[in-house]
Amino acid sequence: MALMQIAEPGGFPSERRQQMRAVGIDLGTTNSLIAVVEDGAPKVLPDSNGAFLIPSVVHYEKDGDVLVGANAQSRVLTDPLNTLSSIKRLLGRGITDMPRLGNKLPYEVEVREGGMPTILTRYGPVSPVQVSSEILRCAVSAGKAYFGSEIDGAVITVPAYFDDSQRQATKDAATLAGIKVLRLLNEPTAAAIAYGLNESEEGIIAVYDLGGGTFDISILRLTKGVFEVLATGGNSALGGDDFDRVIADWLCEQTGIGPSIDPSTQRLVMTAARSAKEDLTLAECTSITTLGWRGVLSREHFYKMIDSLISETMRTCKRVMSDANVKSNQIREVVLVGGSSRIPLVREKVNDLFGCKARSELDPDQVVALGAAIQADNLAGNRQSEDMLLLDVLPLSLGIETMGGLTEKIIPRNTTIPVSKSQEFTTFKDGQTAMSIHIVQGERELVSDCRSLARFDLRDIPPMVAGSAKVLVTYEVDADGLLNVSAMEKTSQVVSRIEVKPSYGLDENEILRMLDDSIRYSKDDILIRNLREQQVEADRLIEDLTSALDRDSDMLTKNELLSLQQSIADLRIFRAECSDHNELSVRIGNVAKTSESFAERRMNKSIQLALAGQTLEALEKG
């Protein structure tokens, strides 16, 4: 007989359950942090050098040693080809991104099998996943020092606009570092938790996160302790690094250096640019000395250079508010996150856009890690009280290709995750025994305008008449935004499934383009979809009538047969040339009407064959 431990109402067992050693990690483009909850409050842990910010930099030594953090950062100028920084921008990316990023990378990149980029170092070729795992391993070492033992799990934050492959690459890096991932948490959501907004009055919250390499904006709604992300957007290739690059380009002009400079000089200029940017956060002007050139950069000039980049974030904010169907005056709180949000011009524009003063009491560099630590403490079960529930959303719709190259959306964008949705499909041809499942992502009506995620086949479908098979396709997205797809034919119960793990990620500019195009071309897309649907209907009618004539043409007179064959031929030609779905629909209806008499005769014949040889008594009993 099983025994159950009990306690008096309001009391606790004499031996409390052992606390789980859980941490929150902010894997950043410029800096990374690790935090824990101590005595109910989150705090950031220092690394072995006593610093709270761990530079996201990895250096490969001649003797095979790997340096991470501040120790690696000191090698940036002296050994740039073996010192890797801002690696988060390559995480989950592929060869298609290299032309855009390649000329801005101060190290050598090559493409491995499958399209995954690797960086050439004296250690050998290393992938962004490997480099990120070294940064995570360094962060976790601070957690081990704090607990005096191994950690039990971690919540790792990612930009809200990271796509499936970028999230999977983050998980892979954690696995390589020996970390059990409790959850991937969107950075803006983590910031809201850190500010304790889950404990405040209900309302709508905006989180503006401008970090070293990424930008995110999320609109969240808090209702009875439930955090729901209404909409999210951003750019995983826009951040403080780009502000540095703008200054660096200006310095290259001032010093007369051309665009093609060696890695050491490039790093030297970027270092001077970053220092100038940080100075201008507090001062109206700053002196710069680099490569034998000395000059002054004013805050006003700096603002002019970065105005277009900040304006781009403002446009994204407006679009996300539109997606969330909220106006700026409905937003109760605005939270600033990320080191680049310290720039006065950024704060000014955010305040103007949302019509209220954004909150920035907490260190914008630490706030994400603090929120991750709170969530890690929750997931580890260390809190006895009721905790907030987090409901994130999908940034882009997930769909499937149907006949005619059309996209059927299974899970629309901004759907709360985790989520599981199913839809039933059927076969197109008689006797079809297999079905190809093409998984796509995007907002357009045609598959060619969306992103292909994966393909797999469902085989061994019992041969049936077209349209008789029932294939249930199920899309499941977990709390980390990772997708699994399965397909099952209901009659035979045959199943096929796939875990969608693309080898590289979607370019962020392409994501923004896909969203913009879905609005810009919405009317055209509807017309194209209507035409494609009628074309598929025409193909189906032609296929059915041709098959019927092959079997039962003897049921028609010679004139009837010639007339129907001519109607089919005319429809085939008209289908290929017609660009108006209404006209094609009318023509399909006319052909269907012409074939009605033939269809009736075939049906009567089928009934006669079914009844042949049966007595009246047997039929009455049946």
What are 475's strand-pairing partners? 421, 485
Asked about 88 being catalytic, the answer comes back as yes
What are 181's strand-pairing partners? 154
Distance CA 275, CA 533 (A): 58
Out of 134, 172, 209, 507, the active site residue is 209
Ramachandran quadrant class, 47 (left: phi over 0; alpha: psi -120 to 50; beta: rest):
beta
Is the N-terminal amide bond of 418 cis, ω within 30° of 0?
yes
Distance CA 406, CA 534 (A): 12
What letter represents residue 142's amino acid?
A: A
Distance CA 590, CA 571 (A): 10
CA distances from 526 to 439, 532, 581 (A): 21, 10, 11
Out of 97, 134, 172, 187, the active site residue is 187
Distance CA 196, CA 435 (A): 50
453-483 burial string, b = 16+ CB within 10 Å, else e? bbebebeebeebebeebebebbbbbebbbbb
Distance CA 459, CA 446 (A): 25
Query: Is-contact 260 247, C-beta < 8 A?
Result: no
CA distances from 229 to 141, 201, 306, 483 (A): 32, 17, 29, 19
Show the DSSP H helices in 355-499 as ranges.
367-379
First-to-final CA distance of the chain: 56
Task: For residue 10, report the phi and psi dihedrals to the nearest 5 degrees.
Answer: 85, -5
Task: For residue 232, report the phi and psi dihedrals to the nearest 5 degrees.
Answer: -145, 155
Distance CA 11, CA 384 (A): 12
Distance CA 88, CA 444 (A): 29
Cα torsion through 325, 442, 455, 112, rounded to 10: -120
CA 64 to chain centre: 35
Tell me whether strands 203-210 and 331-337 are parallel, antiparallel or unpaired. parallel
Distance CA 564, CA 569 (A): 9
Cα torsion through 534, 539, 545, 547, rounded to 10: -160
Out of 88, 171, 349, 409, the active site residue is 88
Q: Residue 229: helix, strand or coil by DSSP?
A: strand
What letter represents residue 149's amino acid?
A: S
Nearest to 26 by CA among 6, 53, 7: 53
Task: For residue 236, report the phi and psi dihedrals to the nearest 5 degrees.
Answer: -80, 10
CB atoms within 10 A of CB 184: 23
Distance CA 296, CA 209 (A): 29
CA distances from 615 to 360, 608, 611, 620 (A): 88, 13, 9, 9
* Active site amino acids: 26, 88, 187, 209
